[in-house]
Structure 1
Amino acid sequence: MTKPSSYSTVAMVIYLIYSMSKWISTYFELLPSIRILPIAISFLGR
């Protein structure tokens, strides 16, 4: 039988991995527009 604290730690790690994988997939979807953004900022900054 595992301790409740270790179970909550495992659940937290699983949630962290799940949220990070969702964030990474969103990041790669937004990557083209993120790549354009610094170019637009540097262009407007002149």
Structure 2
Amino acid sequence: MMKSISYSIANMVVCLIYSMSKWISIYSELLPSIGISPIAASLLRR
């Protein structure tokens, strides 16, 4: 019973990391086209 629970948790973590890395790669591709200046400006304004 415990083995299946730990396996499912590990599977979830792997899926989470995979989806996060996918999102980061998409975001890093989109960032130059959108322009980093608005993001930097919003960060500096705080």
TM-score interval, normalised by the smaller of the two chains: 0.5 to 0.7
Q: Give, in whole Å, the separation in 1 of the partners of 2:13 and 2:22.
A: 14
* Contiguous gaps of at least 5 residues in structure 2: 39-46
In the TM superposition, structure 1's runs of 4+ consecutive aligned residues that sit over 3 Å from their partners are none
Richer in helix (by share): 2
What is the TM-score when the length of structure 1 is the normalising length? 0.65
Q: Quick one: percent identity of the two aligned structures? A: 69
* Contiguous gaps of at least 5 residues in structure 1: 39-46
Equivalent position of 2:27 in the other structure: 27
Q: What residue identity is the alignment partner of 1:12? A: M
Give the superposed CA RMSD. 1.7
Aligned length: 36
What is the TM-score when the length of structure 2 is the normalising length? 0.65
